[in-house]
Structure 1
Amino acid sequence: MIRSIKSRYHFKRTEAKPKVNRELEGFDIKINSSGEIESSYTVDQLNEFLNKNVFDKKLKNTNE
C-alpha cells in the first residue's frame, strides 16, 4: 500500500510567523463570523504606513 507523502517524509505543519516590516510589528487582522474585518491597527494608521512605504504608479508623473 502506498503511504501518503506527508507520512513518508515526516512533514509537520508548523505555525511560522511571516516576515514583516518593523513598523508593522504586532499587526493582526482577522475576519469574524459575521464577515467583519477586525484589525489591531486603524485604517488611518495603515494608510499612513502605505503612503510612506509604497510607490504609487499612478502618481509617477505628478509632482507633490
Structure 2
Amino acid sequence: MAKKSKKEENPKVNPELDGFKMNIDSFGEISSSFPIDKINEFLNKNVEDKKLKDRDDLDEIKNDKKK
C-alpha cells in the first residue's frame, strides 16, 4: 500500500482567529501566533463560562467590566 502524503490543511476557524496557530515544542512549551490577551478577549466574548451561568449578579459584573 502506498503511503498518503500529509498535506498541511488549515482548520476552519472563526474569522476573528484567522491565522491562529499553536505549536508545542519538545520541552512542552506552547507558542502561539496570537498574543494571549487577544485569545482571552475572544474567549470572553464568545464562550459562556459554565461556572458563572447560574449566578444572579452576572449581569452586574458584565456591566462593571464595560465601564
Q: Same fold (TM over 0.5)?
A: yes
Sequence identity, in percent?
Answer: 54
C-alpha displacement of 1:52 = 0.3
Which segments of 5 or more consecutive residues in structure 2 lack a partner in the other structure? Answer: 60-67
Gaps of 5+ in 1: none
- Between the two proteins, the alignment pairs up a number of residues equal to 57
TM-score, normalising length: structure 2 = 0.66
Q: Which 10-residue stretch deviates more, 52-61 or 28-37?
A: 28-37
1:1-64 → structure 2 map (5 Å cutoff) = 4=1, 7=2, 13-62=6-55, 63-64=58-59
CA distance in 1, matches of 2:5, 2:24: 26
Please report the RMSD computed on the Cα atoms of aligned residues, expressed in angstroms.
Answer: 2.0
Q: TM-score, normalised by structure 1?
A: 0.69
**Letter of the structure 2 residue corresponding to residue 52 of structure 1:** K
Q: Which has the larger radius of gyration?
A: 1
